[in-house]
Each structure stands twice: as C-alpha cells, then as structure tokens.
C-alpha cells in the first residue's frame, strides 16, 4: 500500500514525530522500513518512495506538501535507509531487497542503503552501502568481541553496528558491568573505524512505567530522568568521529581484562577485572609537547560492578574528572578495578585522549 488517504496521513504523523525528535537531538535519522511481506509477526506491503517524498520532497511535491502543511516546509536530511530489520535469513528478503534498492537508487541516488545481511566475515551477494550488525549478549561475551572487526575486509560495504548492548543478568536495569563490556566493544569499533561507519546503542529511551525492554540508556517518567552507566560510558566516545586513530599496545599480566584505544584527541582504557592495574603510559610521535596544565583523567567506576543509577540516586555511577598533574609522554597511571578511564592530554597543537 502507498501512503494514500487516512492511513497515509496517520503514517505521516508518526514519521513527523520521528524526524522532529532526530532534529531536536541533532542526530542523523536512519529510516528503517519493512522489506515487503516480511516482518517478525505479519506480512505487509510498503511503498517507501511516498514516505521518502514526505521526508525529502519539496513543499510543492505531493507528499512534501503534507509535511509542509504539518509545519515543516524544509525537507528532512534523510541520508540512510535500512531495508528491513533482522530479515536477512527470511525467504523473500534478497529478492525484495533488490527491488527496493533499485527503486530508491534511481529516485534518490545519494541515499545510503543498509542491508540486513552481515558482511563482517565475508562478502555480501547483493549491493549495499552498509550492512547491519546487531549483538545482544552477556558482559564477558561482549568484552571478548572487541576484536570482531580486526579481520574484516577493507573493501566493500561498511558496518553499521545499529544495536549493541549487554543483556540478561549482567545488565540488571543498567549496570556498571554492562557499560564496561560495552566500552571494551566500542574500543574495537573505534580502532576499526575504517570499516565501521556508525554505531548506536539500543534502545536509547525507556519510559519507566512501560518497560518493554531492558536495559536502556536513558530512563524517564512524566517528570524526571536519568542516564544509566551505559549512557555515561557513551559520552567518553562522543568525540571519536573524525579523529585520527593511533596504534596502541598493552603489555601487562592483566592484558586479558584490559581494552584500550587511542585517538587524537581521545584515548579510552577499560579495566574489566577486579584488581587495580598500574601501567606505564608511553606516547610517541605526537605533534606537540604534552602540557600538564589542562590535562585530565576521567573515570567511570563504582563500589560494585552491579551498581545502577535510579531516580532516587541518578548520579551513583557517573564519570569523575581530575587534573592529571603528572601528564607526560611517559607517565605512570593506575586503572581502578572495574573502570573506564579516559586520559585527556593537552598538546601544544592538538589533544590526545587515552581511554582504558
């Protein structure tokens, strides 16, 4: 069915809400639509071109005029669409996928299309700009996946890690333990950013009065909200986009419980183990001398790995920043047990941050 009549206008209202939210957040929207007679629970047809015209068409176009009448004459910047969701193994996926791919490519040649089929360990058998990668698992398993993309082909479509999170008992209702495993996984994405184009934690929001999924990054009710440790963990990585990746080597008897990445201007270190770890931090080839004034260390940790935030105590597990008075190209650092640490070194011409 196309976006015609009352049904189409009801869909337009839902679409408008999604795009206004992404606009308010300053986030790029990724349009995920049904792959035609494929869904988790039923079979439906979709005409995505009408929907894309609603989002991107001029205010004079058929569906762009509906958007304009709803108060948004300017088009929304839709650059990505996902053809289906977790549908790769279903019978009609590839055939339907190609129909959508060809139609969208002809109408909107700049739109990046995302396949549901995983291309991390082998080439896809159909064209795509990106492929979708989902992982929900326990903390130890996700920690061990920090090297997942090390051997991925450097040619072909890029990865969109659109859903990742620690789930099950390790997650609680948003635990420190979960956030540390997720941080280790993200160090691997950061180090492989030449093949991992985008990543998004899922889900982002949850109404505490309607918990249909657990855990989540931001919890709210009608009048208050808080971020889980996984929310605060992601703030450590928010400056990674567009940064320069630097190779990093960990030599320690605790290396099995450590993960790290380094960028200019950002470096992350995760201590997933129960013991404090002392390391000698050595940086070479920097484009400027390190200035102790302005260098900082930021640490996310707590008394127990299962500690959580709540409405009553929203700041139980939050990052703490301190001055890094011994900042130098070679310095001694200590990683607290079960922690995520970022070492932000002020340079003469740029910044280097190490997160562990």
Provide φ and ψ at 5, rounded to 5°: 65, -150
CA 120/CA 118 separation, integer angstroms: 6
Structure confidence at residue 6 (pLDDT):
38
Structure confidence at residue 2 (pLDDT):
42
Domain boundaries, the chain: 5-236, 244-355
CA 139/CA 182 separation, integer angstroms: 8
Reference 271, options 281, 260, 262, 258; nearest CA is: 258
> Helix %, strand %, coil % for the chain, to 5?
25, 30, 45
Q: Which CATH superfamily is domain 244-355 in?
A: Golgi alpha-mannosidase II (2.60.40.1180)
| CATH architecture observed for domain 5-236 | Alpha-Beta Barrel (3.20)
- Let me know if 330 is a catalytic residue: no
pLDDT tens per residue across all 356 residues of the chain: 344 443 445 467 888 999 999 999 998 899 999 887 655 554 444 578 999 999 999 999 999 999 999 999 999 999 999 999 999 988 889 999 999 999 999 999 999 999 999 999 999 999 999 999 999 999 999 999 999 999 999 999 999 999 999 999 999 999 999 999 999 999 999 999 999 999 999 889 999 999 888 899 999 999 999 999 999 999 988 766 556 777 777 777 777 888 888 776 556 789 999 999 998 887 776 666 777 788 888 999 999 999 999 999 999 999 999 988 888 878 888 899 999 998 888 876 555 565 66
Residue in 43, 74, 86, 323 annotated catalytic: 86
Characterize 199-211 residue by residue with b for buried, 16 or more Cβ atoms within 10 angstroms of its Cβ, and e for exposed.
bebeeeebebeee
CA 305/CA 143 separation, integer angstroms: 14
Give the H/E segment covering residue 331: strand 330-335
- Tokens coding 171: 């997650």
């Amino acid at each position: 069915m196309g976006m015609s009549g009352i049904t189409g206008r009801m869909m337009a209202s839902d679409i408008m809400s999604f795009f206004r939210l992404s606009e308010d957040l300053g986030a790029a929207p990724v349009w995920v639509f049904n792959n035609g007679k494929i869904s988790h629970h039923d079979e439906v047809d979709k005409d995505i071109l009408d929907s894309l015209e609603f989002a991107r068409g001029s205010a004079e176009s058929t569906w762009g005029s509906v958007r304009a009448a709803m108060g948004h004459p300017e088009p929304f910047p839709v650059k990505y669409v996902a053809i289906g969701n977790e549908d790769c193994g279903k019978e009609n996926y590839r055939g339907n996928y190609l129909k959508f791919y060809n139609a969208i490519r002809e109408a909107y040649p700049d739109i990046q299309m995302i396949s549901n089929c995983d291309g991390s360990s082998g080439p896809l058998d159909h064209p795509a700009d990106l492929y979708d990668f989902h992982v929900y698992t326990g903390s130890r398993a996700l920690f061990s996946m920090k090297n997942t993309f090390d051997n991925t082909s450097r040619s072909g479509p890029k990865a969109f890690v659109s859903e990742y999170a620690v789930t099950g008992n390790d997650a609680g209702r948003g635990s420190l333990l979960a956030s540390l495993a997720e941080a280790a996984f993200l160090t691997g994405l950061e180090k492989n950013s030449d093949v991992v184009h985008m990543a998004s934690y899922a889900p982002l929001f949850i109404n505490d009065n309607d918990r249909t999924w657990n855990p989540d990054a931001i919890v709210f009710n009608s009048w208050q909200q808080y971020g889980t440790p996984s929310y605060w963990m992601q703030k450590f990585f928010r400056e990674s986009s567009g940064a320069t990746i630097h190779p990093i080597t960990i030599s320690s008897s605790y290396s099995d419980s450590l993960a790290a990445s380094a960028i200019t201007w950002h470096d992350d270190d995760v201590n997933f183990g129960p013991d404090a770890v002392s390391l000698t931090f050595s940086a070479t080839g920097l484009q400027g001398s390190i200035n102790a004034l302005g260098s900082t260390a930021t640490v996310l940790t707590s008394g127990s790995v299962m500690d959580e935030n709540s409405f009553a105590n929203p700041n139980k597990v939050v990052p703490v920043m301190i001055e890094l008075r011994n900042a130098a190209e070679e310095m001694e650092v200590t990683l607290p047990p079960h922690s995520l640490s970022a070492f932000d070194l002020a340079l003469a011409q740029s910044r280097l941050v190490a997160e562990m």
